[in-house]
Every structure is written in C-alpha cells, then in structure tokens.
Amino acid sequence: MARPTISRARPTSRPKNEEYRQNTRQHLLEAAGHVFAEKGFERSTAKEISERAHTNTAAVNYYFGGIEGLYEAVLEEARNRIFSVQTIGKAIEGKTDPRAKLEAVFRAVIETLLGPLSSSWVLRVLGRDLVTPTPASDAAKDKLILPRALILRRFIGEFVGLPEDHPTVARACVSLMAPFCMLVLADRRRMKRALPNLGLDPKDVPELSRHMVEFAVAGLEAVKREAQQRG
C-alpha cells in the first residue's frame, strides 16, 4: 500500500511590495529625524538610525544611497512639513490680491510652527542645519530652498512693482523671512519668559499672523513708495 503524500507548503518570503517599501522608507525618515535632531549629522550613524527604525543597516543604502542621502531626505521632509510648494499653492489658490496672498501664506506657516510640529524633531533638525550647515545638506538646499526663494522673489517683486532680481526685492525677502527663522531657531521657553505676552500657542495664530502681515505690508508699502519716488 502506497504511503499517503503529505503536501508541505514552502515558506514564502515577505513580499516587498510598494506599500511595504514606502512604510520602511518612512520609518527610516522618522527615526533619522529624531537622531539628527539629537546628535546632528556628524555624530549620527546609519546603525543607530536603522536600530530605531527596526530594520537592518543595509536599508539606509537601499532606500537613500547612504547616510548623506538620508540626511538630504530628512531636510526635504522637514521643510515640506512646514512650507511645501503645495502648501503655498493651496494657501493662495483663488486669491489675486497680493495682501490676501501674503496673509494666507503667513497664517498657514504660523499654524504649523505653533502647532504640534513645534515640539517634534522637524524644527530641531532645521535649526541645527541653519546654525551648523554640513556639506551633506548643500544639494538639498539647492533643491528645496531655491524654488521657494523664486516664489518669494516673484511675489515681492509683484507687490512693490520691481523686477524680481532687483536688490530691493532681495532685501525685502530677508526682512520677511527673518521672523520665521526666529520661530524655528529660538528656544520657546525662553521666548515666553522674555516676551510673556507675545503669544506662541495655537490659539494665538490669528493674532500673530495678522500682526506679522501688518508689519510686512507696512514695510513693503514703504519700499514701494521709495521705488516710485526714485522712478
């Protein structure tokens, strides 16, 4: 009598489909964000990041081509969470008045900076890179900052009636960006002690954004008048 054949299914490896790859990549980004925020780029290792992401070290090379590529991706993720081109476009959609555009963008960014993101790794990573930039971030800055700078230059040029490459437009860009850099870099606890009535909580977004717009518009209007007088 023939012995019955027992069918044994072969174990299958976990399929690395698109969803799995995206999840792994996102876990690495989040883990790297925390490590870079705590230690900076120079003292961070792919090993520690991989351990936090619960994956193997080779994943850093597989998904990002190395720790430099991972750092660039983290900077891109951080900037997009605060000030993505899509966010800008959505904020100004349907608006034609320059002041309305400015107010919409200011409010969108301030809502982000005063919200839960303010206590995450995002601001600490960007703050570190602003104060102590690394060669690894150069490519990311060219890719991420230049398009945003172009949008800002065009907007200010339109507002004051000057070409976007005019020196006055460049100086106005610095004046508008400075308060946001302060919100990224400054220690919130010290700011609240030094300026207790400033308002740095989510409920303060409407008033703070209104004030910043009023301040910015007053400066831009003064620049516009001066440009018109010079002819």
45-87 per-position pLDDT tens digit:
999 999 999 999 899 999 999 999 999 999 989 988 887 778 8
- Would you say domain 19-76 falls under CATH 1.10.10.60? yes
What average pLDDT does this structure show over 202-225?
Answer: 91
* Predicted local confidence at residue 140, as pLDDT: 66
Residues of the chain above pLDDT 90, percent: 39
Q: C-alpha 139: how far from its chain's center?
A: 15
* Predicted local confidence at residue 137, as pLDDT: 73
| Exposed / middle / buried, residue 210 (Cβ in 10 Å: 0-12, 13-18, 19+) | middle
Q: What is the pTM of this model?
A: 0.75
Q: Hey, where are the domains in the chain?
A: 19-76, 83-230
| Exposed / middle / buried, residue 94 (Cβ in 10 Å: 0-12, 13-18, 19+) | exposed
Average pLDDT over the chain, rounded to an integer:
85
What average pLDDT does this structure show over 94-122?
Answer: 86
* Predicted local confidence at residue 231, as pLDDT: 67
User: What's the CATH number of domain 83-230, 1.10.10.10, 1.10.357.10, 3.40.50.1820, 1.25.40.10?
Assistant: 1.10.357.10
* Predicted local confidence at residue 85, as pLDDT: 75
**What band does 149 get if pLDDT is binned at 50, 70 and 90?**
confident
**What band does 135 get if pLDDT is binned at 50, 70 and 90?**
confident
Backbone phi and psi for residue 118, each to the nearest 5 degrees, phi listed first: -65, -20
